[in-house]
Amino acid sequence: MKLFEGKKGLVLGVANDHSIAWSIAQFAMEEGAVCGFSHLPDKPDDARQRNRHRVAQLTDKQPSAKFLVPMNVQNDDDIRAVIQKTKEEFGQIDFLLHSIAHASLEDLKRDTVETSRAGFLMAMEISAYSLLAVANAAKDILSPRSSILTMTYFGGEKCVPGYNVMGVCKAALDSVVKYLAYDLGPRGVRVNAVSAGPVRTLAGRGAGVDDMVPLYEKMSPMGRNVLPEEVGRSGGFLLSDLSDGITGEILHVDCGYNIMGSPGRLLDAYKGQPG
């Protein structure tokens, strides 16, 4: 029997084939799950519907992908509509994958101290509050043995220069995970987060991932950066019944980078350098 045989889930935040959420969803579907998907709404003047098209290119090839609908997490009516669609298709769901974050490029490029008020509010609403909003809307269709998973990053735990305001948002998201785990625990719903190493996604490139990858390759105990499929399997584990005793946790999938208290083998490059 496959790991997700008979399981149904809702996947929020796939942008394209590089999205971590897509790696996780692929794993779940390969293991028997059926899924519904959301995509970022297209602008009214975008006749090509670029956002929908990028995700539809993936889901249209998957018999286990049952629907694809737009959702703006800043709009409660949009969230309710997606949950209603999910209820009509599946009744109850066994997992919910939340992979949504955004900050303006202008604010990401600024020092954190210079973050604009409007940019901070927008980034926090989309990147942290959205998990609360979605979980609240979905709580009545989550099965008594279900799992919610979100995507975080080490920049919410420690200062990662260049990650800036998004690090503040991820710190809030990490806390949301813990409080949701408490609130939803009596329902049998678990809430966890995956903290992946830098992956070249659309969001990741905006947050300076290209600069982080060489550092991870030098500093991590495994001497390399994580692969998307590794994050996919780990995320699948947290969405599956195999992790049914785990909630409120942040699982680091970063080849061990987060354990390091010094630059590790990166120091070798400086040995013998004049002081």
pLDDT, tens digit, 9 for 90 and up, residues 167-184: 999 999 999 999 999 999
pTM: 0.93
At position 236, the amino acid (one-letter code) is G
Residue 104, class by beta-carbon neighbours within 10 Å (0-12 exposed, 13-18 middle, 19+ buried)?
Answer: middle
What is residue 96's DSSP assignment? Answer: E
| Mean pLDDT, each 10-residue run in order, the chain (275 residues) | 97 95 98 97 88 96 97 97 98 98 95 98 98 98 98 96 96 98 98 91 54 86 94 98 98 96 80 57
Residues in contact with 47: Cβ distance below 8 Å, sequence separation at least 6, in sequence order: none
129 is catalytic: no
CA atoms within a 13 Å half-sphere pointing along the CA-CB vector of 54 = 17
Q: Are 96 and 134 in contact (CB under 8 A)?
A: yes
CATH number of this structure's domain 8-263:
3.40.50.720
Strands 93-98 and 250-253: unpaired
182 is catalytic: no
How far apart are alpha carbons 211 and 220 in whole angstroms?
A: 15
Catalytic site residue from 153, 179, 182, 216: 153
Q: pLDDT tens-digit profile of 197-243?
A: 988 555 545 455 677 788 888 899 999 999 999 999 999 999 999 99
At position 188, the amino acid (one-letter code) is G
How far apart are alpha carbons 109 and 106 in whole angstroms?
A: 5
- Could you state, in order of their start, the residue ranges of all structural domains in the chain? 8-263
